[in-house]
């Protein structure tokens, strides 16, 4: 097994091979890097306790700098030798370390949202508690305390789970001790809202009425409806992303993807005057439009169209439901929406159930008459 002084640059330069291999650190005995055939890289600590060899994963090399991983390995070795206090760090100290690590992995918006849930739901309950003192009963009590806000509970649970799992990798908790595993989430009524043909006509009429004074806002709303894209994907479009009749998104929620455009969607884009790099530029033209730029316009249009409960995100659902009504498969709709897995798209199957019910009524009336 080769030895070299690990640095961030050397870790990045290591290429995967046909089989997993390890590189030992020349600076700290037992510390090293595992490189998998997939290209994934994991820092590890190899130690021997009472004649038994033990491997411990410290963290993902794409998320943890070498210096931090080596310091963590030194602390773990000190504890094994009995040279360091056995008291585990408090919950908030581990959480902060996890957020620093995952800042390289999570998208900025994801990091912001997860930190918000941490501040509002996790820190008030768990702050000050030793990380290894949090057990299943404690997590269940915390989760039950949030039953009045099930959305916050369901979205905070994965954040807590990541923190406790990383605590295991750091050696602060026994391996496989994450108490979040197996706790059932709250059942929440879906917020999906589609549009009927009549509602679509009303919306189209109001958009046409505003086209003279707000052409870019109207174009953005139409693109949301015609492509099923997320708002952030449309508002951060660059003209270089639009070519060959398609959108080549560099970074979406599910990673880079291609959006196939209909003739109607291409017509909307081709009608926009190109001023700079951005399709929907900020007022000064130095970047994409402000995230609040479109919601303010949408608030006005939806009230005028008699659709006060329809969100911008519901235009994405409307796109999917229309495709389903036209007989498209769940797999095809998953690709239209950019879902990583068709399973995510299965929430639209309730629309198919409604269509079958309606068809049964029509057939029954015809045959019964």
pLDDT (tens digit, 0 to 9) for every residue of the chain, 369 residues total? 577 889 999 999 999 999 999 999 998 888 999 999 988 898 988 887 666 777 788 878 887 888 888 888 887 777 676 654 456 788 998 999 899 888 878 878 888 899 999 999 999 999 888 888 899 989 999 999 998 898 899 999 999 999 999 888 887 888 888 999 888 888 755 556 777 888 889 999 999 999 999 999 999 999 888 888 888 888 889 999 999 888 888 766 666 778 888 888 899 999 999 888 899 998 876 788 888 889 999 999 999 999 998 888 888 777 666 655 555 555 555 555 555 555 555 555 555 555 445 444 544 555 554
Give 197-363's CATH code, choosing from 1.10.443.10, 1.20.1300.10, 3.90.78.10, 1.10.1060.10. 1.10.443.10
Instruction: List the one residue out of 149, 148, 127 whose CA is nearest residue 138.
Output: 127
CA 162 from centroid of its chain's CA atoms = 14
Mapping DSSP to helix (H, G, I), strand (E, B) and coil, where does residue 174 land? coil
Contact predicate 228/192, CB 8 Å: no
Q: What is the pLDDT of residue 231?
A: 87
Q: For 3-81, CATH number?
A: 3.30.160.390
Residues of the chain with CATH 3.30.160.390: 3-81
Q: What is the pLDDT of residue 356?
A: 44
307 token code pair: 């659709």
Across the beta sheet with 3-4, the strand order is: 3-4, 21-25, 31-35, 41-49, 52-60
Domain covering 91-169, topology: DNA polymerase; domain 1 (1.10.150)
Residues of the chain with CATH 1.10.443.10: 197-363
Q: Where are the beta strands (DSSP E) in 115-192?
A: none
Q: Where are the beta strands (DSSP E) in the chain?
A: 3-4, 21-25, 31-35, 41-49, 52-60, 242-243, 246-249, 257-260
Q: What is the pLDDT of residue 359?
A: 46
Threshold 0.85, pTM exceeds: no
Residues of the chain with CATH 1.10.150: 91-169
**Buried residues in 145-183 as b, exposed as e (16+ CB within 10 A):** ebeeeeeebebbbebbbbbbbbbbbbbbbeeeebbbeee
Q: What is the pLDDT of residue 368?
A: 55
């Amino acid at each position: 097994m080769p030895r070299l002084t690990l640095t961030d640059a050397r870790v990045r330069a290591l290429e995967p091979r046909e089989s997993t291999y390890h590189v030992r650190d020349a600076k700290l005995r037992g510390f090293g890097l595992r490189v998998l055939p997939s290209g994934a890289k994991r820092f590890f600590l190899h130690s021997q306790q009472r004649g038994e060899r033990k491997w411990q994963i410290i963290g993902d090399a794409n998320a943890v700098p070498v210096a931090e991983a080596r310091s963590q390995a030194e602390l773990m070795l000190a504890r094994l030798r009995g040279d360091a206090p056995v008291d585990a760090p408090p919950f908030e100290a581990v959480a902060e370390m996890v957020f620093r690590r995952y800042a390289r992995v999570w998208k900025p918006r994801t990091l912001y949202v997860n930190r918000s849930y941490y501040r509002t739901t996790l820190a008030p309950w768990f702050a000050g508690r030793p990380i290894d003192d949090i057990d299943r009963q404690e997590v269940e009590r915390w989760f039950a305390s949030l039953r009045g806000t099930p959305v916050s509970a369901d979205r905070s649970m994965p954040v807590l789970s990541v923190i406790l799992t990383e605590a295991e990798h750091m050696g602060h908790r026994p391996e496989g001790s994450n108490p979040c595993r197996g706790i059932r989430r709250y059942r929440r009524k879906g917020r999906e809202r589609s549009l009927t043909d009549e509602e679509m006509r009303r919306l189209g009429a109001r958009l046409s009425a505003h086209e003279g004074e707000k052409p870019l806002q109207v174009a953005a709303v139409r693109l949301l409806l015609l492509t099923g894209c997320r708002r952030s994907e449309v508002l951060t479009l660059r003209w270089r992303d639009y070519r060959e009749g398609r959108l080549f998104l560099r970074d979406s929620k599910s990673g880079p993807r291609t959006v196939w455009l209909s003739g109607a969607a291409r017509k909307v884009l081709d009608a926009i005057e190109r001023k700079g790099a951005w399709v929907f530029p900020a007022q000064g033209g130095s970047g994409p439009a402000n995230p609040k730029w479109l919601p303010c316009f949408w608030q006005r249009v939806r009230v005028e169209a008699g659709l006060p409960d329809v969100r911008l995100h519901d235009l994405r659902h409307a796109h999917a439901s229309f495709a389903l009504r036209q007989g498209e498969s769940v797999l095809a709709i998953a690709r239209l929406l950019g879902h990583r897995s068709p399973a995510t798209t299965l929430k639209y199957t309730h629309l198919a159930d409604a269509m079958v019910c309606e068809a049964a009524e029509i057939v029954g009336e015809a045959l019964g008459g």
